[in-house]
Structure 1
Amino acid sequence: MAKQIGKYFLAIVPKGDIQEQATRMKLELKENFNIKYALKSPSHVTLKMPFRWNEAKEEKLIDKLQIFFGDKEGFKLTFKGIGRFGRRVIYIRVEEQAQLIKMQSDLSTYCRHELKLVEELSDKAYHPHMTVGFKDLKDQHFDGCMKLLKDRGFFEVMDVQEVALLKKEGFSWTVVHMFGVNGEYSKN
């Protein structure tokens, strides 16, 4: 049997009102500008960019990540306003704060040493954000998209109590496991 390699990533995935508001923003971009790529995953704040892993060893991945997240503590995360990377990515701003930056940095180191994953540039130059438009965002629509989202605005605060392991299934990303901080664990 051939080895099946899956694609995974780790992120904070807000629930409830924050997820609903961010999804509504994505749907407005789709309706008004035919921008839909960001709808392929739940709204999230990436902690570890997509990586490849042998699907037959998924439980080993989960076990190792449980060890990492088991001694982390929860923290508050603030979403405030709309930002951009050039004219190709629009996102909801995430206020950088020490606990988030430390968790991401520690996770990057852990993934490199314990999971033997390659350290990406994004692991070293981390800029937390929650993307609402990218890849299929055309230059001619950029100003209209920014105006629409800036006029709407975004401000929310959440308690980070878990981190999601997402897996690419077909053409979209699905949460396959949740790791509670402070040793809590639940399957989705």
Structure 2
Amino acid sequence: MYKKYKGILKSSNLYFIALIPDEKLREEVRCLKEEFKERYEAKHALKSPAHITLQRPFRRAEAGEEKIVKILKEFSKIQERFEVRLSGFGCFKPRVIFIKVLDHKKIQKLHLRLNRVLLDDLDFTEKEINTKIHPHITLATRDLDNTIFYRAWDDFKDKVFEADFIFKSLFLLKHNGKYWDIYREFPFYSEESA
């Protein structure tokens, strides 16, 4: 399929790689995103499920999809599950409000290992990969108006949000033309699967 992306005609698909929480937490986050849509007219974040981005969106030919799936499956099989704690809200002024991840270390280490695989095995360029990440779960972005941002931030900055969950898989998301779909799940190593 041919798509126009930022003025360039492409015969490819758009993907990104992320960590996605369990269904219960995804639903809690979706409800918060709906609140941002209703109260602040910010709906862009509803185009994807709750997630922590490890690799920003990238384009690849559909013919290369099988290789991506194979490599990510092999990579994930040797990664260990880990717990994450979410607490409170943060922002990147003046457009983004998110749920804070308390300890970034395990996610950042996973990200570094993933980068190595993307560069070595999937032929990503240095420009394509995220060299640094700030783990978070976005609630509002891009379409959160500058003037409304400060009102929304005042409403959320002191709100309480607490959650713990275990990341058990890596996910490949694929854009369908309107939204991001969870395309593939790659389970991490566990004693049960050994």
Query: 2:171: which partner in 1?
Result: 164
Find 2:59's aligned residue among 52, 55, 61.
52
Higher percent of residues as helix: 1
C-alpha separation between the residues in 1 aligned to 2:102 and 2:62? 34
Shift in Å, 1:120: 4.4
In the other structure, the counterpart of 2:5 is: none
CA–CA distance in structure 1, aligned partners of residues 127 and 98 of structure 2: 21
Are positions 1:92 and 2:102 aligned together? Answer: no
Matches within 5 A, 1:36-75: 36-75=43-82
Q: Deviations over 1:138-173 (max 9, x none)?
A: 111112211333354211010110111000001110
Cα offsets for 1:38-64 (capped at 9, x unmatched): 000001000111111111221221001
Partner of 1:124, secondary structure, is coil
Percent identical among aligned pairs is 33
**Greater mean alpha carbon deviation, residues 107-116 or residues 1-10:** 1-10
The 1:170–1:122 alpha-carbon spacing in structure 2 relative to 1, beyond 3 Å, is same
Structure 2: which 5+ residue stretches go unaligned?
Answer: 3-9
Q: Once the 2 structures are TM-superposed, how far is the Cα of residue 18 of structure 1 from its aligned partner?
A: 1.4
Shift of 1:33: 1.3
Deviation for aligned residue 1:103: 0.4
TM-score w.r.t. the length of structure 2 is: 0.87
C-alpha distance in 1 between matches for 2:133 and 2:39 = 31
Equivalent of residue 124 in structure 1, options 119, 122, 131: 131
Question: Equivalent residues in 2 for 1:1-188 (5 A)?
Answer: 4-120=11-127, 123-182=130-189
Structure 1 72/169 Cα, relative in aligned 2: closer, same or farther at 3 Å?
same
CA-based RMSD of the aligned residues comes to 2.1
SS of 1:96's equivalent in the other structure is coil
Give the TM-score of the pair, scaled to structure 1: 0.90
1:89 alignment partner AA = V
